[in-house]
Structures are given as structure tokens and as C-alpha cells.
Amino acid sequence: MAFASSSTAAAAHTFASLGIFLLPPSEKLTHNNHVLWKAQIFSALRGVQLTEFIEPGAAPPDRYLPPKASTKKPEDGEKKEPLVKNPEYDIWITKDQTVLSYIVTNLGREI
């Protein structure tokens, strides 16, 4: 149970800190201000160390932890170990969705 409480606390801390530091840019994105808007968005994301979420190939960690290695061979009819949720997965998804929301809410209507 230590995983659940520590990952929940870490996610809550991360989310709270993101709300404080991800201030909106001075202007929403339009067809004419991409360079300025991008510089402001990147600066904010760099400031909270979240640029990894907008890089090509960004992918969450595995949803479940790999099963523990066993020295004995599984026998027919024997139950497999239940999957254990990876606490890092929920933290990654929380950060990813926060970054997505931040970007989308700073797009102008025309975009």
C-alpha cells in the first residue's frame, strides 16, 4: 500500500506545483504570432521540467510492473500472479494531460 499513497502524494504535489508555475502566455496562439507564443510556451514548460512530454516519441512507462522472476516453472492450471499497477504510469499521465491542457487552453479561436 506504500506505493499507492506515495504515488498519490507525488502526483498531488506535481499537479499543485504545475498549477502555480504554468502561467498563461501573454497572447494565445494565432496565425501571426507562432514564434512568440512558442517561445513563451517552451519557456514555461522548461521552467517546470516538462518539455519531455512534447518531444517526438514521448511515451508513458508501462501501465503494469513486470512480473517477478520465478525459479519454478508454471504448471497447468496454476494461477498467474495478478498484475501490479506501475505507480509511475499515473504520475506520467497526470503530467502529460496537464501539459496538453495547458497548450490547448492557450490556442486562439482561429486555431
Residues 14-48: pLDDT tens digits? 555 555 567 889 999 999 999 999 999 999 999 98
Task: Assess if residue 89 is contained within a domain.
Answer: yes
The rounded mean pLDDT for the chain is 83
Number of domains in the chain: 1
Q: Residue 1 has what pLDDT?
A: 40
Task: Assess if residue 98 is contained within a domain.
Answer: yes
Task: Assess if residue 71 is contained within a domain.
Answer: no
What DSSP character marks residue 71?
Answer: S
Name the pLDDT band for 63 (thresholds 50, 70, 90): very high
Note down the domain range covering 7.
2-65+83-104
Is the pTM higher than 0.75? The answer reads no
- CA quadruple 50, 52, 55, 60: dihedral, nearest 10: -110
Task: Assess if residue 109 is contained within a domain.
Answer: no
Task: Assess if residue 75 is contained within a domain.
Answer: no
Quickly count: other Cβ atoms within 10 Å of residue 60's Cβ. 15
Q: What is the mean pLDDT of residues 64-91?
A: 80
Rounded Cα distance between 54 and 42, Å, is 9
Strand, helix or coil at 85?
Answer: strand
* 98: pLDDT strictly greater than 60: yes
Name the pLDDT band for 92 (thresholds 50, 70, 90): very high
The one-letter amino acid at 102: Y
Is the separation of the CB atoms in 61 and 89 below 8 Å? Answer: yes
Task: Assess if residue 73 is contained within a domain.
Answer: no
